[in-house]
Copies of this chain bind each other. A is one copy, B any other.
Amino acid sequence: MKFRVRNLDMALGDVRILMNAEDAEKYGIWTNSRVRVSTDGKSIVAIVSITSGDIIKKGEIGLFSEASRSLEVGDGSYVYVKGVEAPSSVKYLKNKLRGEELSEEEIFNLINDIKEGLVSDAELAAFVTALEFHGMSTDEIVSLTRAMAEAGNKLEFGDITVFDKHGIGGVPGTSKDTLIIVPIVSEAGLHIPKTSTRAITSPSGTVDTMEVLAPVDLTAEEIVETCLKVKGTIAWTKTANISPVDDILISRVEFPLSLDPEPLMFASILSKKLAASVRNLVLDIPTGEEAKVETVKEATEMANKFREIGSRLGINIEVAISYGGQPVGRAIGPALEAKEALICLITGGKCSRSIVEKAVSIAGLLLEMGGVAPPGKGEAAAWHILESGRAYERMKMIIREQGGDPDIKPEDIEIGQYKYSVKSQVEGFVTAVSNRAFVEIARAAGAPRDSGAGIYLYVKRGDKVSIGDTLYDIYSSSETRLEEAIKIASSRKPIAVEGMILKVVRDKFILE
């Protein structure tokens, strides 16, 4: 079949062409099936979209930008189109659907084709769904992690041993710990090029929070350069093109479908570490009510699996199972969290205990791993670096190196101008602080895109409160979004205040 070309100047993320519905019917071509499009010299395989509109008439074919770029053919030229089988990687994907184990070669093939835009959204969704059901063997996860790491840039540090920390997320307020850990660890002499994605479902990711203090859109070369100069950096994986297939899977399938299969969680985190040449990693698994992991038993199983996969990849992993049953620190949202971290650095740790203790113990583990503190003395060494103000000085160097203002003060940080205080209507003790409700409220207020939006908590579990005490403030840069957030706050009631006697069971009426 011969078709007249129209270039559509529209990039949709995969290699795709557009056909008229009547032509498609006539030639037996379906939405999402494959065709080979050939000119005299070039030939590509593309995924088909079908239109009933007038933009592509009978006898015409529309090339979306990815297809245009590869074929380099002008409007009005003719190309040959032929229905073909999907690339073999799609067969591997279908084998996974049937529960088969994939070989290393098959996984590399598949990840490469996903990167090249040869796999449709429907196929990606089926694959991720299959992983949710069938899981993957350790061998498969190791191959997947390697394939994802190799699909993007690598950070090369030569002989230098590279350290890192990573949290599995799920608890609001944790994004800021990195802003305290990285300067402590680099000040102690270890190289820590921390890279991270933006928040996906949380009110702030590490780079969203760091961005309040300095640009995070560094290239791979800039990350290496910064890290060689000041030993630490906090940068965005996307501009550095680190593990780009992870971005594709998250943005096209995992986020819109709220799917997060375990094999992809391992591969997502560890592919980034592998690409960044990390050899020693402290992994934080926040555990507790409404965290991703609710019990220490589960967390331990996950920790062992991370360590096993890590050892196969040449990454030495130590795991910190931290308390994640309520938000960490008092601030939630990019600007509020950046401010809390900056205060912590400037005051040498005089801030919310939950955040400073967590940061210092994780930093301590890294110092011990790196041999810059003796076993059992890492935490004290980290405390010392923080208290002495040296961590703050190091953070200023990192901020300057990434292009931010090193003299930024906590009061310079812009918080949303609209604020609402939620006060207690009863007297009693705080018996619960809901992670999920605070995530919802902060996101409704605009976090993370509105960096000034978020929550500041005045009370945590176990605190005593009186009638009229402020429980928390909600901030937003938009009045409408603040109202939206207040609405959710009043229905979700994220903080429970109860008398110490939670329930009275009278003797006479006990039936059991």
Contact = CB atoms under 8 A, between A and B. Distances in A.
Contacts of A130: 129
A contacts with B: majority SS: mixed
A49 interface: yes
A122 interface: yes
Contact of A55 (B10, B124, B256): B10
Interface stretch (A30-38, A104-112, A464-472): A30-38
A125 interface: yes
B12 A49 contact: yes
Interface string A119-144: 01111111011101100000000000
Contact of A50 (B13, B125, B128, B259): B13
Nearest to A52: B11
**Chain B CB within 10 Å — which of A32, A97, A259 has the most?**
A32
A13 B31 contact: yes
A54 B7 CA distance: 12
Interface string A93-121: 01001000000000000000000000011
Contacts of A11: 51-53
A258 B256 CA distance: 23
A63 to B, nearest CB: 11
A121 B125 contact: yes
A126 B125 CA distance: 6
Interface in A233-286: 251-253, 255-259
A130 B55 CA distance: 35
A193 interface: no
Nearest to A446: B28
B9 A97 contact: no
Contacts of A13: 31, 50
B256 A51 contact: no
Interface string A24-65: 001110111100000000000000011111111000000001
Given A121-B120, A252-B32, A65 B50 contact: no
A448 interface: yes
12 contacts: A27-B449, A30-B251, A32-B253, A86-B256, A94-B257, A97-B129, A97-B259, A122-B125, A122-B257, A123-B257, A125-B129, A126-B129
Given A26-B449, A30-B251, A122-B256, 8 more contacts: A9-B53, A9-B54, A33-B255, A94-B258, A121-B121, A129-B129, A129-B130, A133-B133
